[in-house]
Amino acid sequence: MVPGDGPLARVPPVAVFAVVAVVFAAGVIIGGFAGAVLLGALAIAVAVLLATTWPRLTSAERLVRILVLAILVAITVGLVVR
């Protein structure tokens, strides 16, 4: 976790996790184009957060976050192709 004083600093991590889990589950359950749009929006949000925190992350943290983003993008593409 990267501590800070930005707009998300006061949001409880459990709430963020719950929102991400619900959006991910909805995207996978809905499937098709609508599900891909939800997962695509989630992937964009993850990419923005990764880009914002990039300078403060260690190499290992960067690798894990890139892996999570790649898996999310692969699932999104899988919904579109299916």
- The domain of 40 spans 13-81
Say if CB 50 and CB 65 are below 8 A apart. Answer: yes
Asked whether residue 5 is assigned to any structural domain, the reply reads no
Asked whether residue 55 is assigned to any structural domain, the reply reads yes
Instruction: State percent of the chain over pLDDT 90.
Output: 73
pLDDT class of 19 with cuts at 50, 70, 90: very high
Res 1 pLDDT > 60: no
Asked whether residue 3 is assigned to any structural domain, the reply reads no
Asked whether residue 22 is assigned to any structural domain, the reply reads yes
* DSSP collapsed to 3 states, 32-43: HHHHHHHHHHHH
Rounded Cα distance, 2 and 10, in Å = 13
* Alpha-carbon radius of gyration of the chain: 14
Number of structural domains, the chain?
Answer: 1
Asked whether residue 68 is assigned to any structural domain, the reply reads yes
Asked whether residue 65 is assigned to any structural domain, the reply reads yes
Reported as type and span, the H/E element at residue 65 is: helix 59-81
**Stronger pLDDT, 4 or 21, i.e. the higher one:** 21
| Stretch 33-60: mean pLDDT | 94
pTM of the model: 0.84
